């Protein structure tokens, strides 16, 4: 079935997040040969429109306004609803990010639509769209189909492979004037606590520490290892509660859910709440002194040893390979 699907592109610091391209790939499947329309909302996002087209969008609609400088649910929902009213799509796909998780239910409510959240795969089987999503903290997966109304879903970052970038693709990038009014939320200042470098939710490699790291200083070898590997640093709730690091690094049921290609767990016991946030990683390496630690039950590779001895050796070996 041919459909028109809108994809909300998400920009950060003047660049598109990788989940925008993953959402485009999912939209291509959902469109069934129909049109995929990218949507960009913000301030000075016009230059990013051509990049969405190169990754699969057929055309792009831009909504720019000074009041859209920072994300607010009021402002972005007004802008997006105006685009939806103009385009009359058959479906919408967002990234399952902090913004997507906040905005998608609001839009679904306004449209009296259902919503499939946190999809990790989308496929068409015998003419029916099938979405896969985790349930029970990632212990099982369910298949969902939409029998009526809008196809509306959010996709988990780092699960759907984007289409290859094709710089020869071209398409219309048009602006839509929208009057933004009654903004009840005003962003006065943005204080970033997340670590610099690779975005944790989209990182291909994550080095995470738990209570076994013992201190703030204990995270320094992990940060060095992540830097050598070109990855990001994460943490268990135990490490965050102990004030070894900021809660912005927390991975787990009450933190971020990540699915990197490689997850290195250092001094993490493997509590079920933490496993809910990382158990779907493609390769898991566990480093722990306790051979009975639960983390070894989900790990692909286990190293029984002191992380303060093992991690420096890994840094040395990986650094030597990269030279």
**Annotated binding-site ranges for FAD:** 211, 236-237, 250-254, 267-274, 288
Cβ contact 269:307 at 8 Å: no
Q: Per the annotation, where are the binding residues?
A: 211, 236-237, 250-254, 267-274, 288
Q: Which residues pair with 62 in a beta bridge?
A: 40, 175
Cβ contact 19:7 at 8 Å: no
Torsion of Cα atoms, 41 then 46 then 47 then 52, to 10°: 60
Angle in degrees, 0-180, between the axes of helices 73-87 and 98-111, rounded to the nearest 10: 50
Q: Which residues have CB under 8 Å from 323's CB, separation 6+?
A: none
> Residue 319 to residues 31, 231, 240, 312: CA-CA distances in angstroms?
44, 14, 28, 10
Helices (H), 35-114: 49-54, 73-87, 98-111
DSSP assignment, residue 242?
Answer: T
């Amino acid at each position: 079935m041919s459909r028109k699907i809108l994809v909300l592109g998400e920009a950060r610091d003047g660049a598109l997040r990788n989940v925008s391209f993953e959402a485009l790939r999912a939209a291509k499947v959902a469109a069934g040969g129909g049109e995929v329309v990218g949507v960009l909302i913000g301030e000075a996002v016009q230059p990013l429109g051509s990049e969405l087209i190169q990754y699969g969008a057929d055309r792009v609609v831009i909504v720019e306004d000074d009041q859209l400088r920072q994300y607010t649910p009021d402002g972005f929902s007004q802008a997006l609803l105006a685009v939806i009213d103009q385009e009359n799509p058959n479906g919408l796909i967002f990234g399952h990010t902090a913004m997507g998780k906040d905005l998608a239910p609001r839009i679904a409510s306004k449209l009296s639509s259902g919503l499939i959240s946190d999809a990790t795969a989308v496929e068409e089987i015998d003419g029916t769209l099938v979405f896969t999503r985790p349930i029970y903290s990632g212990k099982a997966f369910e298949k969902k189909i939409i029998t009526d109304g809008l196809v509306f879903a959010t996709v988990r970052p780092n699960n759907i492979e984007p289409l290859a970038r094709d710089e020869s693709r071209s398409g219309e990038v048009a602006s839509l004037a929208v009057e933004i009014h009654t903004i009840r939320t005003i962003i006065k200042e943005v204080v970033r606590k997340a670590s610099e470098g690779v975005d944790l939710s989209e990182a291909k490699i994550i080095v995470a520490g738990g209570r076994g790291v013992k201190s703030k200083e204990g995270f320094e070898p992990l940060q060095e290892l992540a830097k050598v590997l070109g990855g990001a640093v994460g943490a268990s709730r135990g490490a965050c509660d102990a004030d070894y690091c900021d809660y912005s690094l927390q991975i787990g049921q009450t933190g971020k859910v990540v699915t990197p290609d490689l997850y290195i767990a250092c001094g993490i016991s493997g509590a079920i709440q933490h496993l809910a946030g990382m158990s779907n990683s493609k390769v898991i390496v566990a480093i722990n002194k306790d051979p009975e630690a639960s983390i070894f039950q989900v790990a692909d590779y286990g190293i029984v040893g002191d992380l303060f001895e093992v991690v420096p050796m890994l840094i040395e070996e990986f650094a030597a390979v990269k030279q």
